[in-house]
Amino acid sequence: FPEMLSNPKLVLVQGTLNVVMRQNVTLSCLSEPGSPPVRYTLFKHNQQVSALNRSDLTPALFTLTISSASDLGEYKCKAEYNNSSGGKYSNSLNFTFIEPISKPVLSSPTSQAKKGQNVTLSCFSENGSLPITYLFFKGTQNISPQKTMQKREAAVIFLFIDSLSDFGPYKCKANNSFPNNTKYSNAFNFTLAEERSHSQPLIISLGLILLLLITGFALAIPFFIIPLYKASE
């Protein structure tokens, strides 16, 4: 009598669950214990993909090419004896696409700064599979630990402008699990904010007072100056 089949194990033996377009993957399905021959059937979303018979205790190997979104999703395999009812199902494996990241954008709420000022820099890549890891540079020197973002949001660092060298140039880089896909941002420089002169508010105040005196004199002409002139004639 054949030994009772156990639930088979579905294992990825070649490739990764996070796949790129047109990537080949290989799945292994094996029921232990079990008495051969055993028929193994691979399903995707409950639809049969392929079937193999094994006359020994070696696993059934299924090689797939993930070439479109329809190839993603949940895979399971089924082990059964020929000409028997029922069968046992395996665990499930899910494939998802990984998308290359786009060039990150490095920006700041302010483009001008002065010595002694705190500023922020943010780095953001609009496209690409999460998580995305960011790293900030000043020139060629790394100025921050890696920041891995699990959500679609910018990585932010805080800086203190202490000298002219702190004005830049700054860059950031971004990468994710997509192979060989590190991208660098544009260069960013802070510009020196002009110091306002202490005499400038005084000049503005004097100008306003002079303007008010001229306006007052002009308004007084028809009411006071002209009647006085006519009275003296």
The per-residue pLDDT for range 175-220, each reduced to its tens digit, is: 998 888 999 999 999 998 876 545 456 667 777 787 777 877 777 6
Cα gap 108→126, rounded to integer Å: 16
Give the residue carrying structure tokens 């199902």. Answer: 89
Out of 94-98, 106-110, 209-213, the most confident range is: 106-110
Structure tokens at 118: 């705190």
**pLDDT tens digit sequence for 122-134:** 999 999 999 999 9
Query: How many Å is the maximal CA-CA distance in the chain?
Result: 141
Spell out the residues 6+ positions from residue 143 whose beta carbon is closer than 8 angstroms to its own.
136, 137, 157, 159, 170
The pLDDT assigned to 65 comes to: 94
What's the predicted TM-score (pTM) here? 0.61
In whole angstroms, what is the distance from residue 142 CA to residue 130 CA? 23
List, in order of start, the domains of the chain with CATH numbers: 9-97 (2.60.40.10), 105-192 (2.60.40.10)
Distance from C-alpha of 40 to C-alpha of 89, rounded to nearest angstrom:
10
- Of 91, 125, 120, nearest to 108 by C-alpha is 120
Q: What is d(CA 147, CA 157) in angstroms, rounded to the nearest whole number?
A: 9
Residue 228 reports pLDDT greater than 80? no
